[in-house]
Amino acid sequence: MTEEVELRQEKPDWKQRLRRIARWAGIGVASLWLLGALVLISYRWIDPPTTAVHVERRLQAWMHNKPYHERYEYVPLRQISPNLQHAVIAAEDARFYQHHGFDWHAMELAADHDMKGGRLRGGSTLDQQLVKNLLLGTERSIVRKAVEASYVPVAEAFLGKQRILELYLNEVEWGRGVYGAEAACRYYYGTSARNLTRDQAARLAAILPDPRRRRPQYMNRYSGIIETRMSQMGW
């Protein structure tokens, strides 16, 4: 009898080990999430020196042994033409000032469009895109979308609409190695973001869905649609 008890005591308790592993894994995941949240909150006062997308593109260039030149200059929102601010909102997130991080109506329309076999389209708000650009990169997965969604309320609560718009316009990818409004305006038009015309702004906004392949000069039809949306929104 004594020998049986000793054998049982010597046998590893796998359930206990699994619980311990799961507990530490949970602590690790929670710590990483909290670190990301603190970084996001800090951007209320600090202009990001780099982003997840910047790092991702640099690594991709290095892995494929391709040259990489980054164009990036952060400027305050007041130095970005209202034409560009309005064009981007009209093109990417028409209900930006009405929703609280998620545009459920836009997501429903996007899902319905996809189910009917149309071209894949997104329903992501500027908040969601900003979180992706700053912290997560461009990889498409359910896990990334879930993490992205968990950070959006943090952005809404601590950054506010104007700071979110400023960060987005400065961090969004506008071409290969081109990040932010100031760099995009100088790269495509040889002018500063504060001097952008309505037509130029609409053309820049038109390339946002696929900035690594689209070019403003070819966006005649879509830029016209964006300008019409701007007029309908009172801009």
Can you give the pLDDT at residue 109?
Answer: 63
Question: What pLDDT, in 10s, does the model give residues 78-128?
Answer: 999 999 999 999 999 999 999 999 988 766 665 554 545 544 445 799 999
Can you give the pLDDT at residue 12?
Answer: 58
DSSP state of 218: G
Can you give the pLDDT at residue 20?
Answer: 82
- The overall average pLDDT reported for the chain is 89
Can you give the pLDDT at residue 233?
Answer: 96
Three state DSSP letters for 70-86: CEECCCCHHHCCHHHHH
Cα→Cα distances 91→6, 32, 43, 126, 151, Å: 71, 33, 25, 10, 23
Q: Which two tokens stand for residue 96?
A: 């930006």
**C-beta separation of 110 from 121 below 8 A:** yes
Burial of residue 82 (CB within 10 Å: 0-12, 13-18, 19+) is middle
Can you give the pLDDT at residue 15?
Answer: 78
> Which residues share a beta bridge with 72?
179
Residue 17 has pLDDT above 90, yes or no: no
**Strand segments (E) across the chain:** 71-72, 178-179
Burial of residue 98 (CB within 10 Å: 0-12, 13-18, 19+) is exposed
**Look-up of token digits 């990818």:** 173
Question: What pLDDT, in 10s, does the model give residues 155-196?
Answer: 999 999 999 999 999 999 999 999 999 999 999 999 999 999
Residue 54: partners with Cβ closer than 8 Å, 6 or more residues away: 70, 72, 179
Can you give the pLDDT at residue 16?
Answer: 82
Can you give the pLDDT at residue 107?
Answer: 67
Residue 21 has pLDDT above 70, yes or no: yes
- The rounded distance, in Å, linking the Cα atoms of 224 and 70 is 30
Taking alpha carbons only, the member of 164, 167, 158, 163 closest to residue 51 is 167
**C-beta separation of 101 from 128 below 8 A:** yes
Percentages (nearest 5) of helix, strand, coil residues in the chain: 65, 0, 35
